[in-house]
Amino acid sequence: MAVTLLFLIVIARLFYVEVIASDSLQQKAIDQWTRELPVKAKRGKILSADGKVLAANAPSYAVFVRTRSVKNVDLVAETLSRLFGVDEEDLKQKINKKSTSEITVKRQATRTDILKLSEYDLDGVYYSTDNFRVYPYGDLLCSVLGYTSVDGRGQSGLEKVYDKYLGGIDGEILYEADLVGTDLKGKTPTYTQGVDGLDVVLTVDSEIQLITESALKKVIDEYSPKRASAVVINPQNGKVLAMANLPSYDLNAVPRDDIQTLNKLSRNALVVDSYEPGSTFKIVTALADIEEFLQKNPKAKSLDYVFSSSRYRLVAGGKIKCWSTHANGKHQNQTLSDALNNSCNPCFTDIALSLGKETYYKYIKNLNFGKVTGIDFSGEATGMVLPESAVTEGDLARIAFGQSIAVTPIQLAAAACAAVNGGYYYKPTLVSEIKTSDGKTVEIINNAYSKKAVSSEASKILASYLERVVSEGSGKQCYIEGYKVGGKTGTAQKFEDGKLSQGKYVMSFMGFFPSDNPRYLCLVTVDEPVGGTYGSTVAAPVAGEIFKGIINAKSIEKFE
């Protein structure tokens, strides 16, 4: 009985070794009798929509030491220290620590470095091909492109989001070794070829990006704000044509030794930061008002009712007032179009309170506030929308003109696109397709519209009102003779540590053209400009310059 049991145990063990564990044991044997050197796959390029290379590679090398193959530790440590600037004593200790089979001495070594290394016949020292990421345009689009780690993996921005496409699969060179890990002389290494990464093609147009950053640099020079940002989107499909945050930094000289500065400069505020939008949010209130009016008056072409001429509204024990004194007949007999022109807060308070929070919140939800847009970028914020059940009359009155609510710039821009493009909400996108290095399309990134947010009729009326804001009202500094431009200004006092911060403002402008069939929408935000007074004087001129640049670059003719 005992012999039979022993025999069964032996049979079971043989079955386990030969069948169940054969693959893993074979791999362990290969690992024990071979040593491998990685061969870095070429990282895919990042290209603009118009074919400009925004991120590419420069050839480089990586240098390694096989500790068990080193015969003269002092010579190897001294030579590598001299050639690559590594600490000699530290390297010597690592080599003598035989439990570590391989040490990386230098990454991104140049061809000149390797030629010098080749002059020495150092046992246990090897090198393999590597890649060094280069950005031909330096700081252009830096907060969007992001950067890679020293070992060539995506660490931030689109480099990280699309790393699975860009990174490729590394190859390797296998060397046969003895039991203690020393390379066997006379054995031919085995080379396993890697798979290069795929190219990522952006929706961003390099010309429009350059125009946008140039316009922002001017406002930085004039007003010295903490930050100036702008996004340009095609309202007809949600494609981001430009996205810029200044100040910026050179992607070829990432300040890795200053994490605080790096985090600040690499932050894509348009996607990851929230702010109280102020008067640019009035487009949401106006749109809700128009839509509800049209549902009751389906044949109407405009809204002709008139708001109270009082400068004040008393709501829930608080006073809401207009920026204007209403003296000398100003802001009298205002229609909705007039109220947008004059950016008169009490009129929008009237609208929200008359609609009620249930109806008003329907439009906040339809335009996707309080949720991520789904843009293909990591760390997107949701903004801050008070739960409908918790909203007081005072909250609703202030949300109507962009207070007591926080949005991200990309949320507001995407909602504005839907508000003026016929009512179609698109998920904004930064990447259009994935290609092989020889130009074959592997994957198309779809950006089909998500939903119908409002009616085409309401959208058309709002766009015409916003065109008047630019031609006659607070947005006049974005007016371009011969072109139909619409827009809305915003000046929002910053909310910090639970209270309004005195003297701290975010000034903004949302503009689009042609207003009757928009192809370009731009949102500009300027955070704490020094000496600036209103979004109409600080942010609107930036959008105007961007639009003029686009008109010239794309040879867009005046309307008849």
Q: pLDDT tens digit string along 175-222?
A: 555 444 455 455 556 667 778 899 999 999 999 999 999 999 999 999
Task: For residues 110 and 485, give the distance between their C-alpha atoms in angstroms, rounded to a whole number.
Answer: 52
What spatial distance separates the first Cα and last Cα of the chain, rounded to whole Å?
Answer: 104
Q: Which amino acid type is present at position 59?
A: P
Model confidence over 88-117: pLDDT tens digits? 888 888 888 866 777 888 887 888 888 888
pLDDT, position 494: 79
pLDDT number for residue 249 = 95
**What is the distance between the alpha carbons of residues 458 and 421, in angstroms, rounded to a whole number?**
10
Backbone angles phi, psi at 88, to 5 degrees: -65, -45
Please give the mean pLDDT across all residues of the chain. Answer: 87
What percentage of residues in the chain have a pLDDT greater than 90? 59
In angstroms, the CA 279 to CA 222 distance is 23
What token pair was written down for 546? 């961007």
pLDDT of the residue at 309? 83
**52 vs 228: CA distance, rounded Å:** 25
Give the catalytic positions in this structure: 279
Q: Is the pLDDT of residue 23 over 60?
A: no
Do 206-553 and 42-202 fall under one CATH topology? no
What is d(CA 225, CA 521) in angstroms, rounded to the nearest whole number? Answer: 23
* Contact of 521 with 233, CB cutoff 8 Å: yes
pLDDT band at 50 (very low <50, low <70, confident <90, very high): very high
Burial class (CB in 10 A: 0-12, 13-18, 19+), 469: buried
Name the CA dihedral angle for 41, 255, 220, 477, rounded to a multiple of 10 degrees: 20
The answer to whether residue 130 scores a pLDDT higher than 80 is no
The pTM (predicted TM-score) of the whole model is: 0.85
Residue type, 293: F
CA distance 324 to 560: 36
Note whether 399 and 345 are within 8 A (CB).
no
Cα radius of gyration (the chain): 31
The token pair that represents 482 in the structure block: 């011969």
pLDDT at 456: 95
What the block records as the tokens of 313 is: 């509204």
pLDDT band for position 365 (cuts 50, 70, 90): very high
- Reported confidence tier of residue 38, pLDDT bands at 50, 70, 90: low
Instruction: DSSP for 44-105, please give it.
Output: PPEE-TTS-EEEEEEEEEEEEEEGGG-S-HHHHHHHHHHHH---HHHHHHHHH-TT--EEEE
Q: 42 falls in which pLDDT band (50, 70, 90)?
A: confident
Q: Token match 């200004």: residue?
A: 489
Q: Where are the domains of the chain?
A: 42-202, 206-553
Residues 36/176, Cβ–Cβ less than 8 Å: no
pLDDT at 120: 86
The confidence score (pLDDT) of residue 148 equals 93
* CATH of 42-202 given 3.40.50.970, 3.40.50.460, 3.90.1310.10, 3.40.50.880: 3.90.1310.10
Q: Which fold has domain 206-553?
A: Beta-lactamase (3.40.710)
* Token couple for 534: 């209103």
Identify the band that residue 327 occupies on the pLDDT scale cut at 50, 70 and 90.
confident
| Coil vs helix vs strand at 272 | helix
Q: What is the pLDDT of residues 466-511, one digit of tens each?
A: 999 999 999 999 999 999 999 999 998 876 666 667 778 999 999 9
Find the mean pLDDT for residues 337-365.
Answer: 94
